[in-house]
Amino acid sequence: MEHNRGVSSGSREFCSQSSQVEDFPATRGALLYEADLIGTAAAAALSSGTVDEVHVVGVGAGREHIATQDSLPHARIRGGTSHPRMVDACRRFIDRTGLEHVTIGCRDVAALDAADGPADVVVLLNAVLCYVGPGHERARAAAALHSVLRPGGMLTAVVHQPYGRPDWAAWFAARGALARVGAVSGTPGGCRIRHGASTTLFHYFRPSEITELLADAGFVHTHVRSLRA
């Protein structure tokens, strides 16, 4: 996390840097907790009906597609991201791994609508919602995600929280103290992160905040748990 340093950019330009594309671990599958989240969402969706279509949003270089297809081998998988260079990297990964029934496109999460559905499962790893801002844009993105889900469908997502690591907790505690005396402004969970030559705004969610965001968008039975362990 950093304060305003470097060249400010939007999330699309930030994630399209060569260093970002190259740093995504496309040569391996999903992390253990990611595979667990996908499997849990798949099982819950199957309990309420068949699963024919899965949307994987903010795909990065595509590593989550292996776990998605392992959990739902007969489903069609539609991957998408707003970063054109990541789309190209993901398509190359899909070609190398020989995954079937997978299509990759360029689409911003907030631009999804009912015409993109109905999806039985939506997967949002890579802290996708943390790159969306300001607050009304996060609300629009959550509503867009809800619009593509069939009744009984499942969304599984990963976000960062301000107290997920000791250094983050210290930074946000100091920032909160400065905000209370008027020394800094901005949203409580917002900061700039730096990678390569540029920075972008990034939002850290409190558990109650992500629950409220999803509830306002129409999601029910939201379960939030820490992945720190």
CATH of the domain at 138: 3.40.50.150
Taking the C-alpha atoms of residue 161 and residue 52, their distance in angstroms, rounded to an integer, is: 32
136-165, pLDDT tens digit by residue?
999 999 999 999 999 889 999 999 988 878
Whether the per-residue pLDDT at 7 is higher than 50: the answer is no
Domain hosting residue 84, numbered range: 7-159+207-217
Number of domains in the chain: 1
38 domain-assigned: yes
Taking the C-alpha atoms of residue 129 and residue 109, their distance in angstroms, rounded to an integer, is: 9
149 domain-assigned: yes
Query: Could you tell me the pTM of the whole model?
Result: 0.83
121 domain-assigned: yes
122 domain-assigned: yes
